[in-house]
Amino acid sequence: SDLQKQEERGELLQPLLFVLLVLCSVLLYFRVSLMDPGFVKPEEEEGEDKGQGVVMPQIPGDIKLRRCGYCLVKQPMRARHCQLCQHCVRRYDHHCPWLTNCVGERNHPLFIVYLSVQLVVLLWGGHVAWSGLYFEQSWEWLQHNIFLLVSFLLILIFTIVVLLLLVSHLYLISCNTTTWEFTSHHRISYLRHSELENPFDQGIILNLWRFFC
């Protein structure tokens, strides 16, 4: 049959790989959106005080950990309360409306993997859509190719958005800072009163190693 001939020529490998990438992207989406991003729990308060000096030796000693005014737990360094999730999140980065979940200490690395896989899927899909377009200056051509043209434009827009998001996150990770800390530096006490611009930065290699490993 034609299907067997295509399989023998290896023509089914690329479509199969593309479908697997799409499936992987969907599974990663649900994994990141449904998992605990690092919610602070009341029973963990005792262990927080012991670890702060190791994590942030450059922070002035007069800066005390404070209790959250919403959920009343003692906030660890770099944690923030998310009013949408109704929890304090460790190493809070941002609340993602597409995921309807926070991006924090536990799911941030997986979020980067999800963006990377999604970018590959979009680039591949954009290439397929572009290869199917043969431009002609006629109304009839536009009628027959309008769906493919709109699909390509949508893929292009999403590709740009995902690429910018991935690049910005990788930059922040390489500096060992978060989106919240980067945008609200002047409002965060442990950054505002620190002698260093970014007291968490330990060099690009070590920052990336500690984040992903």
Residues classed as catalytic: 96
Structure tokens at 19: 């479908």
**Which residues contact residue 126 at a Cβ distance below 8 angstroms, ignoring those fewer than 6 apart?**
152, 155, 156, 159
Tell me which amino acid residue 163 is: L
The size of the chain, in residues, is 213
CA-CA distance, 57 to 175, in Å (whole number)?
Answer: 17
Structure tokens at 129: 């859509």
CA-CA distance, 154 to 201, in Å (whole number)?
Answer: 37
In this structure, what DSSP letter does residue 78 have? T
CA-CA distance, 70 to 18, in Å (whole number)?
Answer: 45
Angle at 202 between CA 196 and CA 204, to 5 degrees: 120
| 144 phi and psi angles, rounded to 5 deg | -80, -20
